[in-house]
Structure 1
Amino acid sequence: MSISAGASPAPVIFDLDGTLVDSEPNYFEATRSVLARHGVTGFTWEDHTRFIGIGSRETLATLRREHAIDAPLDDLLADKNRAYLERARAHTEVFPEMRKFVELLHAAGHPLAVASGSSRHAIEAVLGGTGLDAQLTVLVSAEEVGQGKPAPDIFLEAARRLDAPPQECVVLEDAPPGAEAAHRAGMRCVAIPYVPETATDPAFGSAGLFFPGGQREFTAEAAYRWLTAAES
């Protein structure tokens, strides 16, 4: 698989949680522990799936309102980040085909970035712990932009830091809000749903490449073939 003569390798922007790594179990446990400290019990995995693809601040703001929690939002966010980082440093699984894809892209000279609703500390902890920090050095967290997904801000900021026109960028996303954000940013999207039930969400309809079966269907070779065919 080669890039045609004269074509510049397309910049590729990765979502982190649920796309590159299976960090959602860690986020679920972190959220559950924070809620429990404030007397909210019974937070289930099904409850958590409502917030996949949405930043931690937006998630906690909603939960704080729904459960009438008195603690300041910033305190809740700090508590959740601490709880998450403890788990993330201990174990975070990289999806094997995603690691292969990152390695393929890096070897071929594609500019790469991570744009995530996680805090910058969380992004750095996960990338460092998994070894992905060797290839993924341009990072944007939701803390650094005005609005989180589905607003396009985070992807537009990643494009700016890559010094790339948005229309030349490709985004990899697992959640409808992220796919919508990519579309609103004017970027092509490779969609790999993390939650099977979201595969029919209209937000995925604009994806240039769609793996409805999620990570069990995604392959680095298929994604790279699509990407390089678009460049030729």
Structure 2
Amino acid sequence: MSTDRSGTAAVPRALRGMAAVVLDTDGVITDSARVHAAAWKTAFDGFLHDRGPGEQRPFDVRDDYLRYVDGKSRLDGAAAFLRARGLRPTDAEIQSVAARKERLFTEHLRAEGVDAYPGTVRLLRTLRAAGIPLAAASASRHAGELLEQAGVRDLFDTLVDGTEAARLHLPGKPDPALFLEATRRLGVPADRAAVIEDALAGVEAGRRGGFGLVVGVDRADSPDTRAALLKHGADLVVADLAELLVSED
């Protein structure tokens, strides 16, 4: 970790000028995005098969996950994907698919847990040492549990999760309400805060919210995904948050 001349930790170059940083949870802080995607695949593919074997292509854990469900609430994600397949699901069907996905995800979480990405932990510790307030913001009701399991909950000054979003009646991404609530709690205006997201809906929310910097995370390091994140509002895209620490001086 580099320090400035006063002996305090230096803020990474890309984040200089930012008075706070807000991070999404799944796929940014913890490796839980892959678990979410796998649970969605089982739930969606089962539903599509029941509607008519062979009539619908299966759920793609990368492209469909990123495009339709990543960063959204379970009900919004289920509805978006099924409607994108040309279906007209009832509210009961949407709730059923979302509930099955929730059961599958919870079973995996309880059995195996999740880890935090080492590069993200390094960045978080650097920012905390530099005195930068940090918030985690996620549509998932499991966000707090995920952060606790990964051993990083204490690195954040505040958490706005799916339970809080429901309590406060916050609209889901790409609406920026979740992120704006996080910066409100930190006491920092959006234009002086950075958002770090891996979801298209999330980077779009950061852009709509007028945040000073929107960082996209593409774990697959795919040119197509990078282009999509930039198109939806990311100022820069990295494959791992450790990349932000490479040029600190």
TM-score by length of structure 1 reads 0.78
Does structure 1 residue 141 correspond to structure 2 residue 141?
no
The aligned residue for residue 216 of structure 2 is 191
Q: Which has the larger displacement, 105-114 or 60-69? A: 60-69
The two structures, once aligned, show a CA RMSD in angstroms of 3.0
The aligned residue for residue 124 of structure 1 is 144
Does structure 1 residue 87 correspond to structure 2 residue 111?
no
Q: Which has the larger displacement, 60-69 or 135-144? A: 60-69
Deviation (angstroms), 1:194: 3.4
Asked if structure 2 preserves the Cα contact closer than 8 Å seen for 1:138 and 1:162, the reply is yes
Between the aligned partners of 1:148 and 1:222, the Cα distance in structure 2 is 33
1:211-230 equivalences in 2 (<5 Å) = 211=238, 214-215=239-240, 218-222=242-246, 225=248
1:101-142 CA-partner distances (Å, limit 9, x unpaired): 111112222211111122x2x102211110011212511235
The aligned residue for residue 9 of structure 2 is none
Q: Which runs of 5+ in 1 are unaligned?
A: none
TM-score by length of structure 2 reads 0.74
Q: Which runs of 5+ in 2 are unaligned?
A: 7-15
Asked if structure 2 preserves the Cα contact closer than 8 Å seen for 1:9 and 1:111, the reply is no
Deviation (angstroms), 1:172: 0.9
Between the aligned partners of 2:122 and 2:69, the Cα distance in structure 1 is 24
Deviation (angstroms), 1:182: 0.9
Between the aligned partners of 2:46 and 2:235, the Cα distance in structure 1 is 43
1:45-194 equivalences in 2 (<5 Å) = 45=61, 46-51=63-68, 53-55=70-72, 56-65=74-83, 66=85, 67-70=87-90, 71-89=92-110, 90-118=112-140, 120=141, 122-142=142-162, 144=165, 145-187=169-211, 188-194=213-219
**Count of residues in correspondence between the two structures:** 219
Identity %: 27
User: Secondary structure of the residue that 1:164 maps to in structure 2?
Assistant: coil
Bigger CA radius of gyration: 2
